[in-house]
Amino acid sequence: MVTILIAILSAYLLGSIPSSVWIGKAFYKIDVREHGSGNAGTTNTIRVLGYKAGIPVLIIDALKGWFAVYMAKIIFGYFPSVEMPEYMNVVAAAAAVVGHIFPIFAGFRGGKGVATLLGVGFGLIPIPTLIALGIFIAVLLIFGYVSLASICATVTLPFVTYFFVMPESPLLLILTIAVAIFVPLTHRENIKRLKNGTENKFIKKKNK
């Protein structure tokens, strides 16, 4: 039990690294949470600080999720007498996402977890995640909304996962179903703005 708690806590602390906040304050003297949408994620970082800051934030946040998948295995490797539960890598990955959303290093005000979930996906289910990423890009290019693209990609993820990993890994399917419910919940305000037509577009079409 102690080893499990250490693995979960370590993954949470990893996820709590607030890349957008630290990069914004260190290089621009700006807390991105005080500007734009107020979100400490890639999209708001790009809007507030530009791609030069946003791309590193995306990479770091995704790597947090990817590394969290393997963190439990690394930790349990130091305790060879303790068998790692089958579900441990999934739990550790979830802890990293929670850390990103509620980071202890940034006053528990983080992002919405999409980039970190992307890293988790590539660590656990790379093919379904790649397909979901393709859906994200397609929706973003067609409609211009990051929020809509994120919701569409995650909602379709369980169906793609079922096709590729069931029945061998029902736990992963359960995880993707949870993600498909979780991401729209974190985008409640975005959904309201999409309905009202007030959501800001990430990609704005030029007037002809």
pLDDT given for residue 106 in this prediction: 95
Q: Give yes or no: residues 21 and 113 share one domain.
A: yes
Domain limit, last residue, from 101, 124, 147? 124
Residue 208 included in any domain = no
Q: In which domain, by residue range, is 189 found?
A: 125-203
Q: Give yes or no: residues 144 and 79 share one domain.
A: no
Distance from first CA to last CA of the chain, Å, rounded? 63
As a whole number, the mean pLDDT across the chain is 90
User: Is 81 buried (19+), middle (13-18) or exposed (0-12) by CB count in 10 A?
Assistant: exposed
Q: Give yes or no: residues 158 and 116 share one domain.
A: no
Residue 178 included in any domain = yes
pLDDT given for residue 125 in this prediction: 92
pLDDT given for residue 170 in this prediction: 82
pLDDT lower than 70: segments of the chain: 166-168, 203-208
pLDDT given for residue 203 in this prediction: 61
Residue 88 included in any domain = yes
Closest CA to 148 of 114, 101, 107, 97: 114
Alpha carbons 37 and 23: distance in angstroms, whole number? 17
Summarised one tens digit per residue, pLDDT across range 99-110 is 999 999 999 999
pLDDT given for residue 207 in this prediction: 45
Summarised one tens digit per residue, pLDDT across range 162-172 is 888 765 678 88
Q: How many domains does the chain have?
A: 2
Alpha carbons 98 and 126: distance in angstroms, whole number? 21
Q: Give yes or no: residues 29 and 42 share one domain.
A: yes
108 CA to centre of own chain? 16
pLDDT given for residue 208 in this prediction: 40
pTM for this entry: 0.88
Is the separation of the CB atoms in 49 and 15 below 8 Å?
Answer: no
Q: Give yes or no: residues 3 and 47 share one domain.
A: yes
Closest CA to 62 of 102, 100, 10: 100
What amino acid occupies position 148?
L
